[in-house]
Structure 1
């Protein structure tokens, strides 16, 4: 049905990979069935020199340790009650990562409806980084695995041709990093996150 991309897919410069991830399919094989969403929005964090990155100044903590690993590793972290999911990118020991901000549901629609609440309109299920992990039952348990390996993986999709680029969202106290054009999204896709 879906086949994971090979590990070398992730061996691209971080900003290029952020763009390449658009249109690929995030897949989670659950005991109850498969849920999958087409990636429509990403956000790059450029490591040591990026004030908005958890690894700014090469900060190594229990949480950020995985960012120093090989590209394609899964970096999950908790923010309030949400789990957020990132793709580790860049060469080893260069702690960069790409946040998956939004996906468009393509498989397991009924299961996603149950996970998010059937009363909710579909375009609100996965239109944000904390929403999509709930809709796809992604938890902290995936930390440190690799996106080329089941059960949680990225599969080959179709490239996105209309891509918009702009500043990242919700990083207000990051000085100059607030303005970096490190967010990529499929232009006019209704599942892209709403930001104020």
Structure 2
């Protein structure tokens, strides 16, 4: 079952935690690509110098951040990679959650071809592990790009759904990745990931975690 708009229209940190264990799905060209979300990062424009819309910034690039909860914000980095975000809170408030890593489930051959131009059974162990272990890697494997910007997760073929797996998970809270420029915001423990999952992009040496029941 697709997550509803009410799920996204809540506190951004809560949404970032509760997205862990949910399933990201992209149905495209008759193929279903999917993976379990194992790592997220929260961004809150009003107080977060790492957010593209910090301080009320309005540019064509960031306008999607001000949209309704449940739409997609895709941005381009380093002139070659995409990052996939979910808009949260409420319209007019620039907040969202970056999906940093997923554990592949469906469409493995398609993902392998998109990432490495190989069939899944031709991948090395290292390539399998690195298939979706990062925000840009998962965008390539899931065929997500700028064309998906502003797409509605509640009504389109790109969406997030509940998992049928009700396993309990341990959630690690850590600093976000690659935002050393963000001054005090670089210290916020706004990155969340599933403890011991091999598809997490970066694991901390010093771990802080709490128990959370997967939903």
Q: How far does residue 189 in structure 1 lie from its aligned partner after superposition?
A: 0.4
1:90 match: 89
State the aligned residue count: 194
Partner of 1:26: 24
The structure 2 residue matched to 1:163, chosen from 160, 168, 171, is 171
Unaligned runs of 5+ in 2: 205-215
Alignment match, 2:182: 174
1:112-169 Cα offsets, whole Å, 9 max, x none, are: 1111113452110100000000001111011111111221111112465210001100
Where 1:184 maps in the other structure, the secondary structure is strand
Highest Rg: 1 or 2? 2
Report the counterpart of residue 196 of structure 2 in structure 1: 188
2:198, 2:102 → 1: CA distance?
10
Distance in structure 2 (CA, Å) of the matches to 1:69 and 1:33: 29
Cross-structure match for 1:146 = 152
Which aligned segments of 4 or more residues in structure 1 are displaced greater than 4 angstroms?
Answer: none
| TM score, norm. by length of structure 1 | 0.94
**Correspondences of 1:48-87 after superposition (within 5 Å):** 48-80=46-78, 81-87=80-86
- Alpha-carbon offset, residue 90 of structure 1: 1.3
TM-score by length of 2: 0.86
Query: Which runs of 5 or more residues in structure 1 are unaligned?
Result: none
Instruction: Tell me which residue corresponds to 1:106.
Output: 105
Q: Superposed, which structure 2 residues align to 1:129-144 within 5 Å?
A: 129-144=135-150
CA RMSD of aligned residues (A): 1.5
Q: Could you tell me how far apart the structure 1 residues matched to 2:30 and 2:111 are? A: 11
Asked whether the 8 Å contact 1:4–1:150 carries over to 2, the reply is: no
